[in-house]
Amino acid sequence: MKAVSLSFIGFGNVGRGVARVLMEKKQFFRDRYGLEFRVVSISDSSATIWNEDIDLKEAIMIKESLGSLSRWTNDYELFDFRPVDVVREVESDIVIDVTNDPKAHVWHLEALKQGRSVITSNKPPLAFHYAELTEEAEKRGLSYRFEATVMAGTPVITLLQEGLKGDTIESIEGVFNGTTTFILSEMEHGMSFEEALEKAQKLGIAERDPSGDLRGIDAGYKGTILHCVAFGPMAFDRIEVQGIEGITKKDIARARKRGRTIRLVTRVEKGRVTVRPMEVPESSPLAVYGASNAAVIRGDLIGDIVLKGAGAGIRETASAVVNDIIRASTRL
Ligand SMILES: NC(=O)c1ccc[n+]([C@@H]2O[C@H](COP(=O)([O-])OP(=O)(O)OC[C@H]3O[C@@H](n4cnc5c(N)ncnc54)[C@H](OP(=O)(O)O)[C@@H]3O)[C@@H](O)[C@H]2O)c1
């Protein structure tokens, strides 16, 4: 049995979702991969708990009932660590970043320098610092994995990295943002943009500050990451992004008359990434609904591959993070 120690930075929806899977499937990971996971630290924005084998059930219960790790008063010692202190001080094999810290690249890099592999579901480090981070990991023979950053658990990144080695990728076209899909679908059913946004916020689909989704920034991060994987480094500030704020009910009705629907489409080609609302035929794989994402990958040998699946969700995102943990662990 190989023992692997993990540090969780971030213990929100995805962090706790991953922790739950590690508990529920403990025996499966032992039997199937010979892996035994031990969580040695957990941090949220208030505090870090650090212990040689943290009881995940208790940690989830405390976080969900008290809201903050800093209010944990028994069993474990609390540390006032920033993420950079965690990756320096806590001896772990793998650091798992499930935060939304936009400056996380700083401590990703530090974790790699400390000899730790890094797994992340957080997009900005990849969208702005891909080359630096992946080169550092490569140089040190460590894993730097980020499957959950695009299409949640649907393995588009692993497919591009591992499944198409003989192909020259010609293009990737996809719908990668569930909030905009939800709003555009509700507008098809007669709601105004404002009403659809309000409904998305009430249902918890749109974030309290939805501007990153509506302006196409989230889809742009994902397009940038896919460009990095398929074609090599790309800076987010070089891509062309247009969001859905200008779309009216009239635009939607006009498209429908032609048997089309409007979706926020990300297109990735060598040297170019664009995000913009586009009319797509109802029969197109890009005419997705709900939280589904879709990607059409075109390779010179394989032709078109259509990948469709969850683009958000706790269990779905945990699927990608856990896959990355297992792949990094088997490489240790
Ligand atoms: N939810 C999804 O379906 C999904 C899918 C794919 C990717 N992602 C990405 O996964 C990440 C996590 O998403 P989520 O839904 O779990 O978000 P969330 O519920 O808001 O959780 C974020 C967690 O990160 C912690 N955090 C933020 N900054 C921190 C810092 N500097 N140091 C330590 N902890 C910090 C927060 O602490 P507090 O608890 O103290 O606030 C919280 O525990 C995000 O980057 C998101 O974009 C999410």
- Given this model, what pLDDT does residue 204 score? 78
- Given this model, what pLDDT does residue 134 score? 98
- Given this model, what pLDDT does residue 208 score? 80
User: Which residue is it, tokens 């009910």?
Assistant: 249
- Which pTM value belongs to this model? 0.96
Nearest Cα to Cα of residue 265 among 254, 255, 252, 278: 278
202 is an active site residue: no
Which helix (H) or strand (E) segment holds residue 184: the answer is helix 178-188
Question: Which atom, in ligand 1's list, is nearest to the CA of 316?
Answer: 3
Distance 133 CA to ligand 1 centre (A): 20
Output the CA–CA distances (angstroms, integers) from residue 210 to 182, 191, 199, 294, in the order listed. Answer: 13, 18, 12, 21
**Distance, CA of 137 to CA of 167 (rounded, Å):** 25
Alpha helices (H) in 189-296, listed in sequence order = 193-202, 211-214, 217-231, 249-257
Distance 68 CA to ligand 1 centre (A): 13
Among protein residues, the one whose CA lies closest to atom 10 of ligand 1: 121
Return the sign of the alpha-carbon dihedral for residues 280, 282, 285, 289: positive
**Distance, CA of 66 to CA of 63 (rounded, Å):** 5
- Given this model, what pLDDT does residue 87 score? 98
Residues 39-87: tens digit of each pLDDT: 999 999 999 999 999 999 999 999 999 999 998 877 778 899 999 999 9
Which domains, ranges and CATH numbers included, belong to the chain?
2-152+314-331 (3.40.50.720), 159-310 (3.30.360.10)
Mutate to test the pocket of ligand 1, among 85, 99, 126, 324 (most ligand atoms within 8 A of CB): 99
Please state which of the ranges 98-107, 180-189, 262-271 shows the lowest mean pLDDT.
Answer: 180-189
Distance 103 CA to ligand 1 centre (A): 13
Nearest Cα to Cα of residue 268 among 300, 243, 232, 293: 232
- Given this model, what pLDDT does residue 291 score? 79
- Given this model, what pLDDT does residue 269 score? 98
Summary mean pLDDT of the chain: 95
Three-class HEC string of 45-101: CCCEEECCCCCHHHHHHHHHHHCCHHHCCCCCCEECCCHHHHHHHCCCCEEEECCCC
Among protein residues, the one whose CA lies closest to atom 32 of ligand 1: 45
Mutate to test the pocket of ligand 1, among 46, 71, 121, 319 (most ligand atoms within 8 A of CB): 121
Three-class HEC string of 9-23: ECCCHHHHHHHHHHH
Residues 109-126: tens digit of each pLDDT: 999 999 999 999 999 999
Residues in the ligand 1 pocket, defined by CB under 6 Å: 9-15, 43-46, 68, 83, 98-101, 121-123, 148, 152, 312-313, 317
**Distance, CA of 167 to CA of 328 (rounded, Å):** 25
Question: Which atom, in ligand 1's list, is nearest to the CA of 11?
Answer: 43
Which residue of the set 222, 249, 250, 308 is catalytic? 222
Distance 45 CA to ligand 1 centre (A): 10
3-state SS, residue 128: helix
Output the CA–CA distances (angstroms, integers) from residue 72 to 7, 58, 77, in the order listed. Answer: 18, 10, 9
Between helix 193-202 and helix 178-188 the angle, nearest 10°, is 130
